[in-house]
Structure formats: structure tokens, C-alpha cells
Amino acid sequence: MDSRLRGNDECGVAVTIENQDALSEIASAATLAELEAIRVRMLGKSGTITALLKTLGGMTPEQRQAEGPKIHALREAVTQAIADRKATLEGAALEARLATEKLDMSLPVSVGMQGSVHPVAQVMDELAEIFADLGFAVATGPEIEDDWHNFTALNIPETHPARAMHDTFYFPDAEDGRKMLLRTHTSPVQIRTMMTEKPPIRIIAPGRTYRSDSDATHTPMFHQVEGLVIDRGIHMGHLKWTLETFVKAFFERDDIVLRLRPSFFPFTEPSAEVDVGFTWEKGRRVIGGDPTAANGGWMEILGSGMVHSRVIANCGLDPDEWQGFAFGCGIDRLAMLKYGMDDLRAFFDGDLRWLKHYGFAALDVPTLSGGVGA
Ligand code: DAH
């Protein structure tokens, strides 16, 4: 390569660059900042080499053929030299840092602000794990529902008193005439699942539910989990075993007894409310132990039953072929019983002190597969 390149830039100013000068200047740049200044001066928008490149436009084809490769070669050589010098300077800077910095592995770590897993989320995870072991999938549905999925399909016709019992939040009607509402329970997910999936079905559906209600044990938004099994030949025995297995796994005790009390839900027949045995231990009601003992008693924890044949038919399935059971349970209450909170409203206040006290470490959540509390 010629050691000297000459060209005329657009303004007709002669541009001359000594190759060796350029390269040795780059090689002797002492700092990254100095190197960057050189780069801008040579390759920047109004840099010398950029100007040289621009002169190509004003040359005759013959000139361009002769000068073009030289100018491009110069640009490449300079670009490469800058990259090389940069790597050398950066390497030296790193070496210098490594030589002076010390890392004391014995110093305490500053953890900073850490979030925590809300007890409701924690319980939902536990439910998903317990039921996954029993072959249940997790299903979801919309929180803004229509009254057909929330009531009618569940065998709660318009005139049914159960509609009035659910203090429902209604929206203006949808354009297609559907009555829209905030779902009052997770049961509509049963309907949606039966309508979209082929049996056998085994799902739980945890999620938010809404009713116009507020005191120490009721909040306008709360959480439920729905369970649904649809298969051939399902009976109450399956229901009882499933609930017993679930409750024992959830409360981590084997000495838990359940009592199924005849009840009524429009979407199940027969229906049963499920009580769980508890005992007073150190001033606290603890799930488990002998409910007939002097310190014992029964507490209602969920509603359940065999899915009403009309509900199965409403979803397009043949009730003579398919049977099943369902249950519905308040998640917040499960959390309160297991982890010992007594005011439901605090769950949704967003008070960081409460969350810090009752929350779970995000990366250290006890899981059943890993052993609860392991
Ligand atoms: N949906 C009922 C409620 O919100 C709870 C319930 C009871 C759900 C019985 C069920 C069931 O699936 O079988 O109070």
C-alpha cells in the first residue's frame, strides 16, 4: 500500500493521509478516551478517512479504479488497528482492576428489599401440587362472566333464590344481550371445561371471585378453588377419598377426619357440605385431632356433591354415560386456617408489614414434592 493517500473532497480540499502516521498514532493511544478521539477524527462523520472516501465520488472511473482499493484498504487497516488497540487497552484496564481489587467472600451480603409470595398465591401453588399428584390439571376461566355460565348452566335458573343469595356485581348487558357479571364463584369453570374438553376430566380451578359483601370474614373479592371430576362410574366414595387425601396433604396431618353433611346446591345432587375435625391446641384452633374430644369440634370447609345430571346435559354430555363430582372451597379461608391469620381483610390491604410477616420467600417456597418445610 502507498504510504500516502491523496484525494479531493467535495469542497475540493486536498486530503492527505500518511498511513504509517495514522497507524502509529493509534498504536500509541494511551487511554480508551484518547483512542475514541482518534477514531472520531479519522472515521467519524467528518473524519479524515471519511472525507477521503467521499472524494471517490468526484473521480473519473480510471482514477476510482486506482484509488478506491487503496482508500478502502486504509479504512480497513485503521478500523482493525483501533479494534486491536481497544482490546489491548481494555485488557490492561481489567488487569489493573484485578491486581488492585479484592473480593472478601466472608463479608455479609446486603440483600436489599425482597418481595414475598402472598399466602393466597402460596396456597394456590400447594393446591396445584397436591392435585397434580392426584392427576388433576389446573383450569382457568374469565372473571367477567355471563349469567349463563355463572348461573343458568349450573342449574340456577333466573327465578332461583340462589341467584339472590350471591350478591352479584352486574355490568351493563353485552351487545349480544348477555347479562355480564363478575363471577360469584369458580363453578362456571366447570361448565367451560365440560364444554371444551372430552371426559375423562379432572381439574381444579383456583381463582378470584366476587360478591358484594364485606366484614372480618368476607371481602368483595376473594378466592375459591373448584374441583371437578367427570368420568364413567364416579360415585360419592371417590369424592370422599379425594377430599380426605387433599385435606390431609394440605394440612400435613394424617389424623384428620371429615364429615359429609347432606346439603343443597343447585348444581349437585346429592350435595354435601364438608366439615373437618379440629382441636384447640395452645389457644388456637388446629385442623386435626379428635373432633368428639372435649377440646374438639367440627368446622365447615367446603361444599361438594355429585354433578347434577342437568348440568352435565347443559354442557352437551350424556349424563347416562358420564358422572362426576365437584367441590368448591374458599382459598383465603384455607390459608387462614393453615397459617393462622384471623382477619381476611388484611389479605388485601397490601400492608408490607403484613406481607413480610405472613409472606413466603420467593425462591424458597416449600413444596410438597420437596417436602413441606423441608
Ligand atoms: N359454588 C359454591 C359456592 O360458591 C361452592 C360449591 C359447592 C362448588 C358445591 C361446587 C360444589 O362445585 O359441588 O358457594
pLDDT in tens, 51-90: 889 998 888 999 889 888 889 989 999 999 999 999 999 9
The pLDDT score that the predictor gives to residue 7 is 55
Mean pLDDT is lowest, of 4-13, 179-188, 214-223, for 4-13
Atom of ligand 1 nearest to the CA of 329: 5
Quick: pLDDT tens for 291-347: 999 999 999 999 999 999 999 999 999 999 999 999 999 999 999 999 988 888 899
Q: 278 CB under 6 A from ligand 1? A: no
- 268 CA closest ligand 1 atom index: 13
Contact 328, 224 (CB under 8 A): yes
**Mean of per-residue pLDDT scores for the chain:** 90
Whole-prediction pTM value? 0.70
pLDDT in tens, 5-23: 655 544 444 455 677 788 8
Lowest mean pLDDT among 95-99, 157-161, 162-166, 209-213: 162-166
Which of 327, 329, 332 for mutating ligand 1's site (highest number of atoms within 8 Å of CB)? 327
- Is any ligand 1 atom within 6 A of the Cβ of residue 326? yes
**Considering only CA atoms, which residue is closest to atom 5 of ligand 1?**
328
| Among protein residues, the one whose CA lies closest to atom 12 of ligand 1 | 327
Residue 372: per-residue pLDDT? 41
- Domain 118-358 in CATH: superfamily? Bira Bifunctional Protein; Domain 2 (3.30.930.10)
Q: Is the model's pLDDT at 1 over the cut of 50?
A: no
259-293 pLDDT, tens digit each: 999 999 999 999 999 999 999 998 889 999 999 99
